[in-house]
Structure 1
Amino acid sequence: MRKKFKMLLLAIGALTLFSACSSTQSDIRGEGNQRALAMAASKTLKKPIIYEKKWKTTGKVAMMDTFTDGKVEGEFRRYYLNGNLIMRGYFKDGVVDGIWEDYYPNGKLIMSGYMRGHKKIGKWKYYDESGKLLGEVPYDQIPKEIIDINQTNLANFWKDIKSGK
C-alpha cells in the first residue's frame, strides 16, 4: 500500500510539472532533469509521454522525444534555432532503429539512411545544400566534407543547448 501511495505521489508531481511546463516557455538549461522526469513518468503512468523542449530565445521547439515504459520509443526530433529540423530518427525499446535523417540549417537533407541497434546500415544518401542528391554509398564512404558539415551543425546545436539559448 505504501509503495502504491509513493507511486501515486510521483505521478501527481510529474503531471503537475508537465502541466505547468506546457503553459509556459521552458528554459533549455533544465533539459536534463525534465527529460529524466518525462522518462520516469512514462514508466510510472504506463503510457507514452511526449517530452518537448523549446528554445528560450525563439520559443520554437528545440527537442521532441516520446517515452514509453521509461525508454525512448518512436520518432525523436531536434531543431535548429530557426525552427528547421537538424535531425530526426526512430527508437525501438530505447535503441536507435529505423530511418535517420540529418538536415542543413535551410531545411534540406544532408544525409539519410537506416540505423539498427545504434549502427549505420546499408547505403546512405547524401546531398548538397540545395537538396541535390550527390550519391548513395555505405556511411563510411560519405565524403569527409559532408560528415564535417554535419558534425559542425550538431556541435553548434549542443553548444546552443548548453548556453541556454
Structure 2
Amino acid sequence: MKKNLKILLLIMGALTLFSACTSVYTREEEYARATAIVLSKSMSSTTSFEKKWKTTNKDAIVDTFKNGEKDGEFRRYYLNGNLLMRGYCKEGRTDGIWEDYYPNGKILMSGYMKNNKRIGNWKYYDESGKLLGEVPYDQIPKEIRDVREKNVDQFWKDIKSGK
C-alpha cells in the first residue's frame, strides 16, 4: 500500500511539473508520459511513450525511459509516417548514433553523439540518398544543416498546432 501511494504521489508530482510547462502534449499524453517515466524508475525497468499524429494516427514521437530518464532509442516522425530523426540516450544524455532524414525517407545526415555533443565525422547526403561527404558536424555545408533545422522546426510547429 505504501509503495502504491509513493508511486501515485510521484505521478501526481510529475503531472504538476509537466502541466506547469508549455507542452506539446495533451493532458492525457502528459499523464501517459509521466506514468512511463515514473514506472521506469519505480519498477527499475524500461518503458516507452508514444505520441501519435492526430490527423494520421501514425507515430510522431517515441521515447524510451529507464530509471526515470530518457534511455535507449528515441524517434521522431514526419506527418507522412517517414522517420525525421533517430538517436539514442543513456542516462538522460544523448549518446550514440544520430540520424536525420529527408521527408521522402532518405537519410540526410548521420553521426555520433557523446554526452550531448557531436563527435567525429558525420556523413551527409543529398535527397536521393547519395553520400556527399564525411566531415566534422560543423563542416557540413550550411545548406544541409539548414534543411535539418527547417525540418525539425516544421515538426515542432505541426506538433504544437495539434496536427
TM-score range, shorter chain: 0.7 to 0.9
CA distance in 2, matches of 1:47, 1:119: 27
- In 2 relative to 1, CA 8–152 (structure 1 residues): closer, same or farther, beyond 3 Å? closer
CA RMSD of aligned residues (A): 2.1
Runs of 4+ with >2 A deviation: 2-5, 7-11, 27-37
Aligned partner of 2:127 among 126, 129, 132: 129
How many residue pairs match? The answer is 151
- Letter of the structure 1 residue corresponding to residue 48 of structure 2: I
- In 2 relative to 1, CA 57–83 (structure 1 residues): closer, same or farther, beyond 3 Å? same
Offset from partner CA, 1:104-156 (integer Å, 9 cap, x none): 00000110000000000000000000000000000000000000000000000
CA distance in 1, matches of 2:58, 2:91: 28
- Letter of the structure 1 residue corresponding to residue 6 of structure 2: M
Counterpart residue number, 1:148: 146
Counterpart residue number, 2:3: 4
Structure 1 gap segments, 5+ residues each: 15-26
- Letter of the structure 1 residue corresponding to residue 66 of structure 2: T
- In 2 relative to 1, CA 9–37 (structure 1 residues): closer, same or farther, beyond 3 Å? closer
CA distance in 2, matches of 1:50, 1:69: 12
Task: Give TM-score, length-normalised by structure 1.
Answer: 0.84
Counterpart residue number, 2:93: 95
Task: Give TM-score, length-normalised by structure 2.
Answer: 0.85
Q: Percent identity?
A: 63
Structure 2 gap segments, 5+ residues each: 13-23
CA distance in 1, matches of 2:60, 2:25: 8
Q: Which has the higher contact order (CA 8 A, sep 6+)?
A: 1
- Letter of the structure 2 residue corresponding to residue 4 of structure 1: K
